[in-house]
Every structure is written in C-alpha cells, then in structure tokens.
Structure 1
C-alpha cells in the first residue's frame, strides 16, 4: 500500500527502510504509529517511535523521518490526521477560540497515554485493507472528532492547535545555523524566517557574504566531514543526516569539495 491519502487523512505502510524526502510538516498533525519503527530527528532533539505512540506535531516544524520494519518483520504502519487552516478556522469561529496568538511551546506533544485518542485511532484499523471505504464525508467527520477529543481531554493544547499566524521575521543566522541540515527549498527557508524570497537572499548575502545554495552545500559537507572524522560515523549513515537526498550525490559532492572519497578520508586524517 505504501502511502494513501483521503482528504486530510494519510495511511502509511512501508515495508522497506524509508527516508522521507519531505522534511517540513505543512499542517498541524496528529499521528498514531501502528507497527514498525520510526526515528524522528528535530533540529535539537530526537524521538524514537514505537507501536502505539501518539503525537501532536506543530505546523511548519522541520523533521527528518526514517521509517522501517521492526525486528520481527512487521512493516511500518501509521495513521496521520492533517488539520488544515480552513478546518481549524471554522472550528475556532464556532467555538469562539482566538487564532492570533503565536505558539512558542514544544513542537512535539506525546499523547500516547490518552485512552480516548487511542480508541479513536483504533477505529481506523479496518481502513488499512479497504482505504476506498473512507469517503470524504467520513474523513471530515473523523477529523472533527479528533479536534473534539483534543479539546475536551487536552484543553491546554488550544494555543498550539489554533495558532494560525504566519511566520514572522526572525534572526536568520540563528535559524540557518540550527536548521541547515534540513533539505527544503530556499523559498521555504525564506517563508519560515518571515521573509520574501528576495529579502531572504539579500539578508543572507549580508550575513554570510554568500548565496544560500553555496553556503548550504558547503555547510552540509563540512558537517559530514566532522561526523565522519571526529565522530567515526559511516558515510552511508551521514549523508541523509546532513541534508543530501541520496548517497551518490553526497559522494560526488564530498569528493569535489575535499578531493577524496568520503569512505577514504579517515585514512588520510
């Protein structure tokens, strides 16, 4: 099945080890892990997912995700609900909830202990074999049910859920030094730092005296060299972590920058 999406509900079933290429969470996401293993890497902390884990993840969060089967061969399976701005705006309007406050709390909230939300996700299990039975109407009803459960049993999450504000202008240097390993388009770095693309490039040039593309490439390769030489990590384990989509591209870029294959650099260090 791999990945199937009905409206704003996504079913994932990955039998092989999968490195997600999409590293930005576009909408507020409520996720339930059914089976397998998952490693989530945020900018400053990691989460190792286990079957039964339930989490609420902030919109616009940058995450690297590695999904794989568990030791017993069970494939990675999960169900995720994406709450669109329109859906949240309608709910907020009907319940007189403010949507103009900027949420500055944790990006990842563990809801694994919620028996109500667990029971909610268990109702999705029959759809794994018959996704076509989940109609758009049912998906809308299930999404509203999820919001009701979150608000009724976790009212302290209100500000996180209903933050519909746009990213505001923040310290570009601090943000880039913290998030350079995430493989997202330059226009998304601009948006997330509260800038137009042209303003972002102008501010970037003032800060680093370099283009974003070149700076990112060299910064990622320098980080890769550090991890290989100083931390004794394998090149095959490093390339995804530092922001390359595939090992071949990483190997070519590494040799171009340092004049040696990544696998041979330890021999000359």
Structure 2
C-alpha cells in the first residue's frame, strides 16, 4: 500500500493513500476535522453509515467507534487534510473565550459539505506542507480559526467540543449489542464501558456466559449472514463492515458456522 503523510505539526496532516483501499476499525481519541481533496471514504458506525467524497468537510467526535474504509476514486488517490482538535487546545480556547461547558449533545458526525469558510481555512494549509521552516504559531492560529468557524456555523458544536468527560461505567449488554461489529482490542471496549480489562472480562462472562471473542465472532457472523441474505450485499463489503480483517478469514469462519461459503449464499440471491 502506498501511503504518504506530511505534517505541519502532529495535529495537522496531509494524508494520501494510492492503493485500492485501506480499512481500519478505529476509536478516535480526539475530535477530527477532515477536508476531502479526492477519493472516497465510507464510515460505518453503530447507528449510521456515511460516505464522504471530494469537497466534503466533516467533524468526527472523540471516543466514537467506527469502521473506516478509504478508496481512491476517478484515478485520483484518497487525499485529505486532517486536523486534530485536542483536549488541551480546546480547553485553552474555551478558557480564553470565557465559554462554559455546554450540555453534551449527540456524538454524531457533523457534516459541512463545501462550506466556503471551512474550505478556505483548510485549503490555506496546503502550501505549508511543503515548507521546511514553519513559524511555531501558525498551526495554533489555524486550529483557533477552524474552531471559531465551527462555532459560527454550527449551533451544536460547543456541546461537542466542551465535553471533556471520560466514559463512565455503562450497561455492558446494551453497549456490546450496539457495537460488536467494531474490531477493537478488549482494553478499548473496557475503557468505553467504564471498566478495567479485568472487570470488563468478568462482567462480560457474567452477562453473556461466554468469552468476549467467542461472542463477538458469533454476532459478527450472524450480522454478515443477514447482510448477505436480506440486504443482498457483496461478500467483500460484508466482510469489512462486520468486523473481519480479511476476506479469507471471513469466508473460512462463515463456512464453518453455516456450512456454505459467503459467495454461495450471495449467488443464491
């Protein structure tokens, strides 16, 4: 896979994938503001699936699980400018702005397609990626500009950006039933449900009477079967959208569970 990344600072990068596609299951530790230059991304979350293309600008809130699939398109690479809005920068910004923390709102992805102010702000970063010596305050000023624009165009954004709380202990069964398709380390699932790894495994065994890995595999296979049989999706799409890392492993596990390969079920439909 040909991947290149250029940085102004660790919080602002120009990302470029030139291979057929790149897939990853991710939990975002920080808010991410993304501007699409070319290519296409599919983001699969528990409650929605998004497709972003050239010109799209969107903000992904932190502590959200997602499957990210990046594709080149129309002969062009998958190319984006990514800006991380870290907790430290946001605390500093809102302290100076004298804005109190807002009531947290839904942590959905916020979309700003072709918004001229945001596009102008992010496009102005492009020349800096090829410079050797960049003034230290440039990145900070650009991030402050982006936050200010977000606040001007999105009345709900303060509720997202001023939410500095860490995940508290929540109902394990409800959370896992909603998020099992994301291929995360058990430590991440523990963190997002407000538990240590040891407590997560203990509570999981008590709730489901099996190990997390066995339960997750079973749930993912059941979801894959539903997508193939009822939604008529392609095996390759189902594989990556239900938490499997590669097509061969998915096909093997699926045939072992159901007695026939995903391609056989797809052909029947």
Q: Indicate the residue corresponding to 2:160 in structure 1.
A: 160
Structure 2 counterparts to residues 41-190 of structure 1, below 5 A: 41-70=44-73, 72-99=74-101, 103-112=104-113, 114-127=115-128, 130=130, 132=132, 137-190=137-190
For residue 259 of structure 1, report the CA deviation from its aligned partner.
4.3
Counterpart CA distance in 1 for 2:242 and 2:154 is 36
Q: Name the SS for the 1:33 alignment partner.
A: strand
For residue 86 of structure 1, report the CA deviation from its aligned partner.
1.3
Counterpart CA distance in 2 for 1:187 and 1:102 is 28
Q: Name the SS for the 1:159 alignment partner.
A: helix
Q: Name the SS for the 2:143 alignment partner.
A: helix
Equivalenced residue count is 266
Name structure 1 gaps, 5 residues minimum. Answer: none
Counterpart CA distance in 1 for 2:11 and 2:87 is 11
Structure 1 residue ranges, 4+ long, deviating more than 4 angstroms after superposition: 131-137, 265-269
1:214 aligns with 2:217: no
Counterpart CA distance in 1 for 2:194 and 2:61 is 17
Q: Indicate the residue corresponding to 2:15 in structure 1.
A: 12
CA distance 1:264–1:132, shift in 2 (3 Å): farther
Name structure 2 gaps, 5 residues minimum. Answer: none
CA distance 1:232–1:107, shift in 2 (3 Å): closer
Moved more, 132-141 or 59-68: 132-141
For residue 153 of structure 1, report the CA deviation from its aligned partner.
4.3
CA distance 1:230–1:85, shift in 2 (3 Å): same
Q: Name the SS for the 2:50 alignment partner.
A: strand
* TM-score normalised by the chain length of structure 1: 0.87
RMSD: 2.5
CA contact (8 A) 1:17 1:66 kept: no
